[in-house]
Amino acid sequence: SGTTPSTAVGATATPSARPTAIPSATPTATPTAAPTFAEWPIAPKGPNYSDATIESLVSGPNGNMWFAWTLEPSPTTGMFGLGQITSSGDASTYQAPSPKVIPAATSGDGYLWALEAADFTQPQHIGQWTPGGALQAEYAVPGDVSSSITWGPDGALWFTALTAGGGTGEGAYIGRMTTAGQVSTYPLPDPSFPARDIVSGPDGDLWFIVPGTQSVGRIDPATGTITEYPVPPNGGVNEIGDSQTS
């Protein structure tokens, strides 16, 4: 008969080799460049003028940043205008014919639109400016004071305004102007309190704030319907941001 192999007493079985886990690589942090900061002068100065005041900033149709500037030693002898600055700091300024200029959003036809005049003694207009700084056209808009303007999702300009001084149509309203100068107005629910800081929202509506009623408002550009939402007590509203980029 065959012989069955025997295992020697006290012998130890050799364990089979087990795979060794390979440690995962530790990600290396990407160095982040330190931010840089620079400032450039943008408007003339003189012995009879205070330093220039910058009103607003908007991305222009030519890739530069545009702003409104003011040199105002007195309300009757001040200088006002638009300016633009390149990313390398080269600035140009252009004097405006009206006493105040607030930059607007740029339109699809390559122009910069500016709200001109913002006091009770001057008529107000919306000016159409070329990227070269030339005032190409002006369109009169109703009211005595306007505070903000933006390019709407419907391809028109939207602005906040106030007509004062008594008479029919007195009060705060939201305005719309086409690029051909046709103006429509939409009175606020409470015309005693003007709106400001109108912006184009991500939902296709125009949004604004009404500090006097502590509310945030919206207007449907298709219907002109205005809705206001009160801010919770002690919240207050001072500014609203723009969702659009140029």
Q: Which residue has the higher pLDDT, 227 or 163?
A: 227
Residue range 69-83, pLDDT digits in tens: 877 655 556 677 888
Q: Is the pTM of this model over 0.85?
A: no
Residue 42: which residues within 8 A CB-CB, separation 6 or more?
A: 52, 54, 67, 69, 83, 85, 91, 93
Residue range 49-108, pLDDT digits in tens: 556 677 778 889 999 998 888 776 555 566 778 889 999 999 888 887 765 666 566 666
Residue range 7-26, pLDDT digits in tens: 444 445 555 566 666 666 56
Torsion, Cα of 51, 105, 156, 108 (10° steps): 130
